[in-house]
Amino acid sequence: MAKHLVLVGGGHAHMVTLVNINAFVGKGYRVTVIGPSEHHYYSGMGPGMLGGTYSPSDIRFATKHVVEKQGCVFLLGKAVRVRPDERLIELESGETVRYDVVSFNAGSYVPRLNLSEVTENIYPVKPIEKLMEAQARIKELASQKSITIGIIGGGPSSVEIAGNIWQLTSEYGVNQPRVKIFSGSRMMANYPEGVRARIEKSLKSHGVEIYTNGFVQTIDPDGINLESGERYDLDLIFLAIGVKPNAIFERSGIPTGPDGGMLVNAYLQSTAYPEMFGGGDCIYFQDQPLDKVGVYAVRQNPVLYNNLFAALEEKPFQVFSPGGDYLLIFNMGGGKGVLRKKWLTFGGRLAFIIKNYIDRKFMKKFQAIE
């Protein structure tokens, strides 16, 4: 029987492979793609979708369509466990899929903190589909009354969500909500002062309130409690407290890094199972811990594509190099952004124009095959 390649997830690191699945088919290999959704949403454009700059179709890749168009199998489902000694993937449905070579681009999730059982009006920033639900809920509530929205977290997702809530409600013509960011001890703590200052100035110009008076201890549908005992009543809550790699590897006894991501070597290959590869947020790169940013997944694309072929054909692998400094642009809403690249930092409309151009170009490149 022909060797079987299985891709778990249709994210950024698998894009080149997905677009070129027919190359594997042409060599006589079987290919199956497992995904929790028929589409993959580009997280870098998620806040812009929340704010109304983009429609859902602008920021998604039709994974199922592209896979089936090339004569391969798409399985709608969630992979929950790996039995590496048997080379089996277990799905949430109970179904199993056998592989000869497997690659994971299974993404990450936002930790739930100490949530109550009721999670109405509480929205994690991932998966991106949650932002579509949040957009509808903001419009609904803000059309009825004045509301207060809380965002928990002090990183890039938090500030982009805040700016785009302001854009959404400004353009939609409803009651302008109070937006409060609870950033722990410091907003954008891991970024240079020039970036932080421009972001804070942008947020404050939109009336966003920034709280640095402590960390959140508990969350319920009506508000939050800080470790200090302070209570804040909220109508909607966004969770933007960073991400953790998919838990499938820890659950399966596969070696992981400190954050729970699959431990991979310079070939993006599991350090324990040579037939297992991965990219994006779900891995921990052994040689150099990587930030959870999309640029690394994009850089991993051609290496994964090459090495999956090499694994099937027993040929030499290509080494992944993370590369140097990368461009960062934050979408602050209202058609403005903040850009940083090495020594260069600036904010305003030009920053957003550059981000919009890069993001749309990226999407068009991979949507073209649809």
Condensed to tens digits (0 to 9), the pLDDT of residues 252-284 reads 999 999 999 999 999 999 999 999 999 999 999
* Cα–Cα dist 356/121, whole Å: 29
Percent of the chain with pLDDT over 90: 78
Residue type, 309: F
Average pLDDT estimate for 82-96 = 96
User: Residue 108: what pLDDT?
Assistant: 76
* Cα–Cα dist 48/132, whole Å: 11
pTM, entire model: 0.91
User: Residue 318: what pLDDT?
Assistant: 97
User: Residue 112: what pLDDT?
Assistant: 62
* Cα–Cα dist 74/6, whole Å: 10
The CATH code of domain 122-242 reads 3.50.50.60
90 in the Ramachandran plot: left (φ > 0), alpha (ψ -120 to 50) or beta? Answer: beta
Q: Where in the chain is the domain with CATH 3.50.50.60?
A: 4-109+243-313, 122-242
Contact (CB, 8 A) for 218 and 232: no
Sort strands 328-333 and 231-233 into parallel, antiparallel or unpaired.
unpaired
Contact (CB, 8 A) for 283 and 102: no
| Per-residue model confidence as pLDDT tens digits over 226-244 | 999 999 999 999 999 877 8
| Per-residue model confidence as pLDDT tens digits over 151-205 | 999 999 999 999 999 999 998 777 889 999 999 989 999 899 999 999 999 999 9
User: Residue 238: what pLDDT?
Assistant: 95
Place of tokens 């870098």: 44
Helix, strand, or coil (residue 256)? strand
Cα distances from 227 to residues 107, 187, 230, 236, 253, in angstroms, run 30, 17, 7, 20, 34
Calculate the average pLDDT of the chain. 92
Average pLDDT estimate for 70-84 = 95
pLDDT confidence bin for 16, thresholds 50/70/90: very high
323 in the Ramachandran plot: left (φ > 0), alpha (ψ -120 to 50) or beta? Answer: left
Cβ contacts of 348-356, under 8 Å, gap ≥ 24:
354/329, 355/329, 355/331, 356/48, 356/53
Cα distances from 137 to residues 34, 49, 143, 152, 163, in angstroms, run 30, 14, 10, 18, 17
Neighbours of 231 (CB within 10 A): 11
Looking at domain 4-109+243-313, its CATH architecture is: 3-Layer(bba) Sandwich (3.50)
